[in-house]
Amino acid sequence: MAYEAKGKAYAPYSRFPVGAALLASSGRIYQGCNIENASLGLSVCAERVALWKAVSEGEREFIALAVVGGELAACFPCGACRQVLVEFAPDLEIITGQPGQRLLVCSLKELLPETFTFKEK
């Protein structure tokens, strides 16, 4: 589904389409793609589009996120997306790769240890 979402990317400036598929604990999967803008700083990553779609539909807990970026063998979420994801899903599993190829799996905690939070640790 992340690959399918990549097909909907709007990336005329970078020409780097990204697709994401976010599995919520409800069982629903939310797709996202990167959406760029001529004012480049307003562009948004596929991962955040998927998360915001899900949260705005009432989801609050997530299990896994798949990401497909361009033709890369692996495309992990950028730093900004990691921080946004950890707000809702500190135990998220991240899967990246290309269809029919070897997938890489890791945890969001591995990608973003010692996260900023208001909660006492």
Active site residues: 47
Rule CB under 6 A: say whether 23 interacts with ligand THU: no
Distance of CA 102 to the CA centre of its chain: 19
Q: Retrieve residue 102's tokens.
A: 């070897």
Is beta strand 18-24 parallel, antiparallel or unpaired with respect to 93-96?
Answer: unpaired
Q: How far is the CB of 86 from ligand THU (least distance, A)?
A: 14
Q: Of the ranges 44-52, 53-61, 88-96, 97-105, which one interacts with ligand THU (CB under 6 A)? A: 44-52
> What is residue 21's three-state secondary structure?
strand
Q: How far is the CB of 79 from ligand THU (least distance, A)?
A: 9
H or E element: which one contains 69?
Answer: strand 62-69
Binding site for ligand THU (CB under 6 A): 11, 14, 16, 18, 34, 36, 43, 45-47, 75, 77-78, 81
